[in-house]
């Protein structure tokens, strides 16, 4: 049986909300539908201990 991977490309237009609860940063990502309304894409969950490394990596994008 072939295993499917959850990895792949993800497109989002904006960050809808950010919160921290129980040591986990939650980042709600949205895209805009053709009618201009926001559509949820993904909730990214990052352990707060890893947030500085994620920020550092994102700052490398130029």
**pTM score, whole prediction:** 0.77
Cβ neighbour number for residue 57 with a 10 Å cutoff: 9
Query: Which pLDDT belongs to residue 35?
Result: 97
Query: Which pLDDT belongs to residue 40?
Result: 95
CB neighbour burial string for 5-42, b if at least 16 within 10 angstroms, e if fewer: eeeeeeebeeeeeeeeeeeebebbbbeeeeeeeeeebe
The 8-class DSSP code of residue 48 comes to G
Say if residue 20's pLDDT is above 90.
yes
CA-wise closest residue to 27 among 55, 3, 5: 55
For the chain, what are the domain ranges? 14-59
């Amino acid at each position: 049986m072939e295993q499917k991977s959850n990895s792949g490309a993800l497109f989002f237009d904006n960050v809808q909300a950010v919160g921290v609860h129980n040591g986990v940063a939650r980042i709600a990502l949205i895209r805009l539908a053709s009618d201009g309304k926001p559509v949820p894409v993904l909730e990214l969950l990052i352990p707060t201990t890893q947030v500085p490394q994620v920020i550092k990596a994102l700052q490398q994008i130029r």
